[in-house]
Amino acid sequence: MTTPSRATGRQRVPFFRNSATWQRVRDAVEADIARSIDKGTAVDGILVRETEEELTRRLGCAGVRMTASGSDALLVLLKQQGIGPGDEVIVPAYTFFASVAAIAHVGARPVIVDILPDRYTVCPGAVRDAITERTRAVLAVHLFTTMADMERLAALCAEHDLLLVEDSAQGIGMSRAGSIAGTAARGGVFSFFPAKTVGALGDAGAVIATDERQLAEFDAILGRDGAGRDGEPTYGCDEIQAAVVRACLPLLDEFTARRRELFAYYDARLRPVGGVRRLPVLAPGDVGYVYVAEFDRRDELQAHLRAHGVTTEIFYPMPLSRQDCLADVADCTRPVPVAEAASTRVLALPLYSDLLEEEAAHVCDIVHDFYRQA
């Protein structure tokens, strides 16, 4: 790797850190915030609008509206699509909880199905099996590194007259077969949670419109159309988060290249290790948002890493259809053996653009050490 390193004492490798990025963007962010305060536009301010314009330009789409979070963006998108009570929405068992929560929140019924064995995205065959006369939409989730199989899902949705929408919260920068994440279906979202490939300092998100009519409908939901909306929730993004996203967007290519470099490093160091079941592979168009690998004796490995200063996460500890809180609001009856198996073995190692070379080396040393002792 070619990136900076620094001498450390006893190694501690946090799961996420953005202090170096913050030092790079700080002056620009502070200047922007001062500019916004001078303008006196605290809500839907100039920084929100400028960031939306920049995202729209990059995506080449009809328009983007920033929201308070990726979760809020999903709500705006599902509402705009008119999804609600009486509708079923098919969603993968393996995703962040917000994908399913958003469907339940608008009053529709999530129908939870299995994922593909060779990647962690929804299985089109399982989607086909789950279609009923109440099915209204499929929420495709782009996960960890890669987009869902949008070609097959689009064909299936066209055949059955279903809406296809994207939970592209993790997907900024991803593309596949000529499609760009967030613009590959009837609408998409981004999350700018700090650990995302482009992150704010707190919660922020965006909802992506594929045509002008949809953009106008987003504006109505967000209260940007000038019409009254008393009592409706506010979903808008604040100027401070918009300033950070705006400053980080020009670094997206650099961030993705750095993540790719770290993926290659982990791959070279971990591939020879017995006990490593599966390592993630980046195809062209993929973005290494998180490094989720599968390991034998995962929980013991995680404890060993923790004892040696390395923080990891389990994305995700169980298929969503096994979450008790969803039992009454979702269809959790479909078999999800692929998601079940993955959830017992996955471990996400630290992976972010500020990760130092010796930190990645330390993580790999500890994994080697664990399986050598075993």
Q: Can you read off the two tokens belonging to residue 14?
A: 């946090």
Place of tokens 């959790």: 332
CB of 37 to ligand PLP, least distance (A): 25
Residue of 94, 96, 263, 352 interacting with ligand PLP (CB under 6 A): 96
* Residue with Cβ nearer ligand PLP (181 or 332): 181
* Residue with Cβ nearer ligand PLP (96 or 218): 96
CB of 347 to ligand PLP, least distance (A): 17
Place of tokens 């996400």: 348
* Residue with Cβ nearer ligand PLP (21 or 170): 170
Residue of 99, 214, 321, 353 interacting with ligand PLP (CB under 6 A): 99
CB of 122 to ligand PLP, least distance (A): 12
Kindly state the greatest CA–CA separation across the chain. 66
Residue of 114, 149, 203, 359 interacting with ligand PLP (CB under 6 A): 203
Q: Rounded to 5 degrees, what are φ and ψ at 307?
A: -65, -20
Q: Return left, alpha or beta for 7; rule: phi > 0 is left, psi -120 to 50 is alpha, else beta.
A: beta
CB of 143 to ligand PLP, least distance (A): 7
The stretch among 91-99, 121-129, 132-140, 330-338 that binds ligand PLP (CB under 6 A) is: 91-99
CB of 6 to ligand PLP, least distance (A): 29
The binding track of 295-334 with respect to ligand PLP, each residue x by CB under 6 A or -, is ----------------------------------------
Place of tokens 């994994």: 367
Peptide bond into 352 cis (omega under 30): no
Contact 112, 321 (CB under 8 A): yes
CB of 24 to ligand PLP, least distance (A): 22
Contact 159, 208 (CB under 8 A): no
Name residues contacting ligand PLP, limited to 204-263 (CB under 6 A).
205
What is the C-alpha separation between 357 and 267, in angstroms, rounded?
Answer: 14
The sign one gets for the Cα dihedral 32, 33, 39, 43 is: positive
Name residues contacting ligand PLP, limited to 172-191 (CB under 6 A).
191
In this chain, which residue has its C-beta nearest to ligand PLP? Answer: 70
What is the C-alpha separation between 13 and 64, in angstroms, rounded?
Answer: 35
| Interaction between residue 169 and ligand PLP (CB under 6 A) | yes
What is the C-alpha separation between 100 and 316, in angstroms, rounded?
Answer: 14
Give the Å distances, CA to CA, from 140 to 147, 181, 368.
Answer: 9, 11, 36
What is the C-alpha separation between 222 and 43, in angstroms, rounded?
Answer: 11
Alpha carbon 291 to its chain centroid, in Å, reads 13
CB of 35 to ligand PLP, least distance (A): 25
Residue of 18, 81, 95, 214 interacting with ligand PLP (CB under 6 A): 95
CA atoms within 13 A on the CB side of 53: 8
Name residues contacting ligand PLP, limited to 105-144 (CB under 6 A).
141
The binding track of 54-83 with respect to ligand PLP, each residue x by CB under 6 A or -, is ---------------xxx------------
> Amino acid letter at 150?
M
First-residue to last-residue Cα distance in the chain: 29
User: How many Cβ atoms are within 10 Å of 242's Cβ, its own excluded?
Assistant: 29
# of chain residues touching ligand PLP (CB under 6 A): 15
CB of 168 to ligand PLP, least distance (A): 8
Name the site residues for ligand PLP (rule: CB under 6 A).
69-71, 95-96, 98-99, 141, 167, 169-170, 191, 193, 203, 205
